[in-house]
A and B are shown apart, each in its own frame.
Chain A
Amino acid sequence: MVMTLDELPRGDRAVVTGLEIRGGARRRLMDLGLLPGAAVHAELTSPLGDPTAYEVRGALVVLRRDQARAVHVEAHPDDEDR
């Protein structure tokens, strides 16, 4: 299923398909490892659901909701029917 990263339920996995953001913010996300093909795992959410910590390529990356919204992902097939 295609969605944006902020919609990925906690505990679920997905693969990055694209970034809908430009300029320095795009660069930063790419530098943090959020490139197309990268596997992400929604790991921890703060009480209000924002920000959320994602595991990306062996590191924990914390994103605000509006940043996560710029990241297009495809949910991992094993996690889809939950």
Chain B
Amino acid sequence: MATPLPTPGVGPGAGEACASCALAPDAARLARLGLDPGRYSYVVALAGNPNTGKSTVFNALTGLRQHVGNWAGKTVARAEGGFSYGGVGYRIVDLPGTYSLLSTSADEDVARDVLLFGRPDVTVVVVDATRLERNLPLVLQVRQITGRVVVALNLVDEARRHGITVDVRHLTRELGVPVVATAARRGEGLSDLLAAIEQVATADDPPAPLRLTHHDPELERAVSALAQQVAARFPSLPNTRWVALRLLEGDPGIEAAVRDGTLGDLAAPTTDTAAEAAG
């Protein structure tokens, strides 16, 4: 039986993307808006290691069929799209797949700049359930920047085939943010993912960025002292310790952002970051 999707009125073409309702995670509440998010209330960034199914999640949410990938060399770009959930518009940005936010490659810079300066309302980190150990460092790095995180434990179908079971509740507790098991290819878990995204986007009191303690007292002193100065200069910044640590590492991108004040900008999410990086 064909149930017409409600048209939330956040852009042309809303709700017409239900050609594959088998994949529609929550047909009553999700409208895929393709390339045009129309008016949106929240920005969602999609991060993850390469080959975790990030773009499959992106396509499942937006209804787009694009092959999104290949961020090699200088052609750094981001895919963007939109969806509406529960009548609220979301813009979604698919970041380059990276293992880290700290190394010096153009891809990682784009991913990091979007998270740091774009300040998405929710960052979904897509992780490969069959290679969880390899994927968790990126989750930790994102958690140090923001508490507004949802972890999509993707490829659980493949993990099941390999006899791998992940204790989702335990992982949620350890990370302090929602972890949702998904098999994006089959649409499995997508309604839970959407609910988690909504919950984090609308949370008044999100978890604080993860604070790592350094066991080297000298390093700890340096980080604390510098973090205080950063906080004094940029009072609205939630992750001053993370910024302090990058400054101590001599990270040129962060140094520039401190110098020219862009670190404190609460500007709208960066439409230009990728273009600049690619330029």
- A-side residues, CB < 8 A to B, are 24, 27-28, 30-33, 35, 56-59
Contact of A57 among B100, B102, B104, B134 (CB under 8 A): B134
| Cβ-defined contact, A33 with B133, below 8 A | yes
Q: In the assembled complex, how far is the CB of residue A39 from the closest CB belonging to chain B, in whole angstroms? A: 10
Instruction: Note all chain A residues with C-beta closer than 8 A to B224.
Output: none
Query: In the complex, A41→B263 CA distance in Å?
Result: 42
Q: Count chain B residues whose beta carbon lies closer than 8 angstroms to a beta carbon of A.
A: 10
- B-side residues, CB < 8 A to A, are 99-100, 102-104, 130-131, 133-134, 137
Instruction: Note all chain A residues with C-beta closer than 8 A to B102.
Output: 27, 31
Query: In the complex, A58→B162 CA distance in Å?
Result: 12
| Cβ-defined contact, A28 with B103, below 8 A | yes
| Cβ-defined contact, B100 with A27, below 8 A | yes
Query: In the complex, A33→B131 CA distance in Å?
Result: 11
Query: In the complex, A77→B83 CA distance in Å?
Result: 53
| Cβ-defined contact, A31 with B103, below 8 A | yes
Contact of A24 among B99, B104, B131, B134 (CB under 8 A): B104
| Cβ-defined contact, B134 with A33, below 8 A | yes
Q: In the assembled complex, how far is the CB of residue A69 from the closest CB belonging to chain B, in whole angstroms? A: 20
Top 6 closest A-B pairs, CB basis? A31-B100, A58-B131, A57-B134, A31-B99, A57-B133, A33-B134
Instruction: Note all chain A residues with C-beta closer than 8 A to B134.
Output: 33, 56-59
Query: In the complex, A55→B96 CA distance in Å?
Result: 24
